[in-house]
């Protein structure tokens, strides 16, 4: 399927894909299967990054990297395949913090990254170096080199992302989300460089959590502005009133949003030009169109690699169609 | 055997045992089986410590800790039992430094230690905390809290200990050994505190490498002086002209020493009062006595726990006999 499809894609098309971790990474795999490296830039959320046991951990960057490298665990949905947990067992034995699962293989990534950053290497350069070792040619860059922190004001007080997501298992109701340090952040230089490349540019917002994965990227000062003038297509992470994975639906409810693709369209109103929604939500198309956003209906649940490429093709088709209409 | 023997040991005897890694750790296990916690202080060499992949690694402290905790690998001779190497495999995959084998379980120790030291905890306190988690009551302390570095001037240039020992497999001929930073080091406070405890004090130098494991300890300014006035008994690491394990024999040869227990006695002349040697070397007893050092002959090869306790008993007996003779 792959080869046949690629031939139809405009070689001048350039896609900037904004993504969180697991769900977004699936679409990234589809996009990378269809687009050569020079036509795709993956921008990953780093608001979830944190320092744990002295290590710099970048869950979303790593999820995308492992997915593209073909070393992600498919069953578990996060981390590496063929993983073991011997270091964790010893950490527990010694009474160290063990609420955040660090696989033995995964640890190598964090050790290398922590040391490289300490030695002054950029997160962008380090990620590219690791990707190369996994034989991935596509570029995956952090939204910013600056450390920012997604913080959740909850009924149990303010929590960092991983403390909310992993330690508290998303249980506390969320009142507000804010991104610490975002005002001082700048987009990673590679993003601007990619946008300056000649070609027809479009942006894809992957089916990641809008509040926790995409908003931090869009809030990096100057990043959204650098996307303007080119169409932005989002894929809804909500299917039939619930999230495929993760706390998106619960969070939308707590923050007073409509848990539906219409709610997603409302959230991204003024930012996106089209929203890809699942067949199940076809009935919401008119309400989405009424917000000035073009609804695109297809199958959005990605189980197989074929699903991923099919959805990526729909997104690419939409981008080309919007570019052809010259509204941008 | 254990219980029967303990009853004969003077409850006022206090042993300070100076040790390197694997070989010394065996005698430490024997001493700890015979002496209650308040009668034994283990002082481990930290000249082999190094920073690797951003982690603070203390090979000798860990060898002793794992041996006392009953979690040391018996076959391999270093590291932890039931170890796996998944993180190492991923480090290699990513092209990171992989010449120093870090087991997945062992990694937990280094992660915890690196973070604790960075947070301002002393190496002494951290080691004691880890030992407690392994249900070890005995105190094992670093020779000093200060970072010192055993450096080897070799035919291939100057090498840090681990680079010589592990990466270069002890192959380059050694011209000189010196301990970087030793002049600014002070004995770990716990050593002085132990010596101030009432009782009859004696010191044991374990069958570790004299140049690479014991000299760094003895060279910590003030440490040797604090042992003076009490008998010092060494156990020879040389049996029948060769070292039980490691590069001691090769190193003695390269440094112009006699590879024998007499050579060990010459090295420690002026420091020790008695040298425990193996039956195989009984013929060297007179030459050792001629140096003003009492030779003590017994079986010094430690294969079983019984061997370790037997040798520990000989050392303790010798200490008590020397103390009874009131020459100190």
Give the pLDDT of chain A (328 residues) as one tens digit per residue.
Answer: 344 444 589 999 999 999 999 889 999 999 999 999 999 999 999 999 999 999 999 999 999 999 999 999 988 888 999 999 999 999 999 999 999 999 999 999 999 999 999 999 999 999 999 999 999 999 999 999 999 999 999 999 999 999 999 899 999 999 999 999 999 999 999 999 999 999 999 999 999 999 999 999 999 999 999 998 899 999 999 999 999 888 899 999 999 999 999 999 999 999 999 999 999 999 999 999 999 999 999 999 999 999 999 999 999 999 999 999 976 5
Residue of B nearest to A130 (CA): B94
Distance of CA A112 to the CA centre of its chain: 22
Give the three-state DSSP class for A30: helix
Listed residue (B108, B147, B145) closest to B123, CA to CA: B145
**Count of positions (residues) in chain B:** 328
State the nearest Cα–Cα gap between A87 and chain B, in angstroms.
Answer: 4
How many Å apart are CA B225 and CA B271, to the nearest integer?
Answer: 10
pLDDT at B153: 96
User: Measured between beta carbons, which residues in chain A are less than 8 angstroms from residue B104?
Assistant: 84, 86-87, 90, 104, 107
pLDDT at A7: 54
Inter-chain touch B108–A95, beta carbons under 8 Å: no
How many Å apart are CA A231 and CA A325, to the nearest integer?
Answer: 11
Q: What CATH topology corresponds to B2-324? A: Rossmann fold (3.40.50)
Asked if A5 contacts A316 with a C-beta cutoff of 8 angstroms, the reply is no
Q: How confident is the model at residue B3 (pLDDT cuts 50, 70, 90)?
A: very low
pTM to 2 decimals?
Answer: 0.92
Say if strands A40-44 and B149-154 run parallel, antiparallel, or are unpaired. Answer: unpaired
Looking at chain A, the number of H-run helices and the number of E-run strands are: 14, 14
Look up residue B209 and give its two tokens. 């490498």
Inter-chain touch A105–B86, beta carbons under 8 Å: yes
Inter-chain touch A112–B96, beta carbons under 8 Å: yes
Residue of A nearest to B84 (CA): A86
Inter-chain touch A107–B118, beta carbons under 8 Å: no
Interface of B with A (CB under 8 A): 53-55, 80, 82-84, 86-91, 93-96, 103-109, 111-112, 114-115, 118, 130, 133-134
Among A94, A108, A134, the residue with its CB nearest the CB of B108 is: A94
Listed residue (B216, B63, B214, B78) closest to B151, CA to CA: B216
How many Å apart are CA A266 and CA A260, to the nearest integer?
Answer: 10
DSSP B163: I
How many Å apart are CA B72 and CA B136, to the nearest integer?
Answer: 13
DSSP B293: -
- Containing B159, the helix (H) or strand (E) segment is strand B157-160
Q: How confident is the model at residue B139 (pLDDT cuts 50, 70, 90)?
A: very high
Among A54, A105, A109, the residue with its CB nearest the CB of B114 is: A54
The number of C-alpha atoms within 13 Å of A37 and in the hemisphere containing its C-beta is 11
User: Measured between beta carbons, which residues in chain B are less than 8 angstroms from residue A97?
Assistant: none
The percentage of chain B sitting over the pLDDT mark of 90, rounded to a whole number, equals: 90
Helix axes B59-69, B104-118, angle to 10 degrees: 120
Residue A48 bridge partners (DSSP):
none
Given a cut of 80, whether residue B174 has pLDDT beyond it is: yes
Inter-chain touch B87–A111, beta carbons under 8 Å: yes
User: Measured between beta carbons, which residues in chain A are less than 8 angstroms from residue B86?
Assistant: 82-84, 86, 103-105
pLDDT at A2: 43
Look up residue B315 and give its two tokens. 């050392």
Interface of A with B (CB under 8 A): 53-55, 80, 82-84, 86-91, 93-96, 103-109, 111-112, 114-115, 118, 130, 133-134
Listed residue (B120, B137, B119) closest to B128, CA to CA: B137
pLDDT tens profile B267-290 = 999 999 999 999 999 999 999 999
**Which residue intervals of chain B are DSSP H helices?**
2-6, 22-34, 59-69, 86-93, 104-118, 123-133, 161-162, 189-196, 215-219, 223-227, 248-254, 261-267, 285-289, 305-324
Sign of the Cα torsion B117, B121, B122, B126 reads negative
- Tokens 């998944």, located at residue: B86
State the nearest Cα–Cα gap between A160 and chain B, in angstroms.
Answer: 20
Domain ranges of chain A: 2-324
Residues B259, B260, B264, B267: what is their CA dihedral angle, to the nearest 10 degrees? -50
Asked if A213 contacts A28 with a C-beta cutoff of 8 angstroms, the reply is no
Given a cut of 60, whether residue B51 has pLDDT beyond it is: yes
Burial A52-83 (b: 16+ CB within 10 A, else e): bbbbbbbbbbbbbbbbbbebbbeeeebbbeeb
Inter-chain touch B107–A107, beta carbons under 8 Å: yes
pLDDT at A3: 41
Residue B139 bridge partners (DSSP):
B41
pLDDT at B327: 60
Distance of CA B281 to the CA centre of its chain: 22
A to B CB pairs, distance under 8 Å: 98
Inter-chain touch A54–B109, beta carbons under 8 Å: no
Please list, in sequence order, all residues whose beta carbon lies within 8 angstroms of the beta carbon of residue B245, skipping any fewer than 6 positions away.
B22, B23, B77
Strand order in the sheet with B157-160: B157-160, B149-154, B174-180
Please list, in sequence order, all residues whose beta carbon lies within 8 angstroms of the beta carbon of residue A85, skipping any fewer than 6 positions away.
A101, A103, A104
How many Å apart are CA B199 and CA B319, to the nearest integer?
Answer: 13
Given a cut of 90, whether residue B198 has pLDDT beyond it is: yes
Look up residue B42 and give its two tokens. 């283990």
Asked if B234 contacts B16 with a C-beta cutoff of 8 angstroms, the reply is no
How many Å apart are CA A106 and CA A120, to the nearest integer?
Answer: 22
Helix axes A86-93, A104-118, angle to 10 degrees: 80
How many Å apart are CA A106 and CA A110, to the nearest integer?
Answer: 7
Looking at chain B, the number of H-run helices and the number of E-run strands are: 14, 14
The percentage of chain B sitting over the pLDDT mark of 70, rounded to a whole number, equals: 97
Inter-chain touch B133–A55, beta carbons under 8 Å: no
Inter-chain touch A87–B94, beta carbons under 8 Å: no
How far CA B100 is from CA of A137, B63, B166, B200, in Å, comes to 30, 15, 7, 42
Among A87, A109, A115, the residue with its CB nearest the CB of B107 is: A87
Given a cut of 90, whether residue B110 has pLDDT beyond it is: yes
Cα distance between the two ends of chain A: 31
Q: Tell me which of A275-279, B123-127, B227-231 is least confident.
A: B227-231
pLDDT at A326: 75
The number of C-alpha atoms within 13 Å of B76 and in the hemisphere containing its C-beta is 15
Listed residue (A102, A148, A109, A107) closest to A129, CA to CA: A109
pLDDT at B55: 97
Which region, left, alpha or beta, applies to residue A272 given φ > 0 means left and ψ of -120 to 50 means alpha? beta
Residue A50 phi/psi, 5-degree rounding, is -155, 165
Q: What is the mean pLDDT of residues B300-324?
A: 96
Among A84, A88, A115, the residue with its CB nearest the CB of B53 is: A115
Among B83, B118, B133, the residue with its CB nearest the CB of A94 is: B133
Asked if B252 contacts B201 with a C-beta cutoff of 8 angstroms, the reply is no
């Amino acid at each position: 399927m792959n080869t046949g499809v690629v031939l139809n894609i405009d070689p001048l098309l350039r896609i900037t894909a904004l993504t969180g971790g697991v769900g977004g990474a699936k679409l990234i795999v589809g996009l990378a299967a269809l687009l050569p490296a020079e036509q795709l830039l993956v921008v990953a959320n780093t608001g979830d990054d944190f320092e744990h046991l002295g290590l710099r951990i970048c869950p979303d960057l790593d999820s995308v990297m492992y997915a593209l490298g073909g070393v992600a665990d498919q069953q578990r949905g996060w981390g590496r395949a063929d993983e073991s947990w011997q270091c964790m067992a010893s950490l527990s034995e010694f009474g160290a913090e063990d609420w955040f699962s660090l696989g033995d293989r995964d640890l190598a990534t964090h050790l290398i990254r922590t040391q490289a950053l300490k030695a002054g290497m950029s997160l962008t350069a380090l990620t590219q170096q690791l990707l190369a070792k996994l034989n991935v040619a596509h570029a995956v860059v952090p939204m910013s080199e600056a450390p920012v922190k997604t913080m959740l004001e909850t009924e149990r007080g303010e929590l960092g992302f991983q403390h909310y997501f992993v330690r508290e298992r998303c249980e506390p109701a969320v009142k507000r989300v804010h991104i610490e340090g975002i005002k001082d952040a700048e987009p990673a230089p590679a993003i601007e460089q990619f946008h300056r490349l000649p070609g027809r540019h479009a942006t894809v917002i992957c089916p990641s959590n809008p509040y926790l994965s995409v908003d931090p990227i869009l809030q990096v000062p100057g990043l959204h502005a650098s996307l303007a003038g080119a169409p932005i297509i989002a894929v809804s992470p909500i299917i039939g009133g619930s999230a495929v994975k993760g706390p998106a639906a619960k969070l939308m409810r707590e923050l007073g949003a409509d848990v539906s693709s219409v709610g997603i369209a409302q959230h991204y109103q003024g930012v996106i030009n089209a929203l890809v929604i699942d067949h199940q939500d076809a009935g919401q198309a008119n309400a989405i169109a009424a917000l000035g956003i073009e609804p695109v209906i297809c199958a959005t649940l990605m189980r197989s690699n074929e699903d991923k490429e099919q959805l990526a093709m729909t997104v690419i088709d939409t981008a080309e169609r919007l570019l052809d209409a010259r509204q941008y």
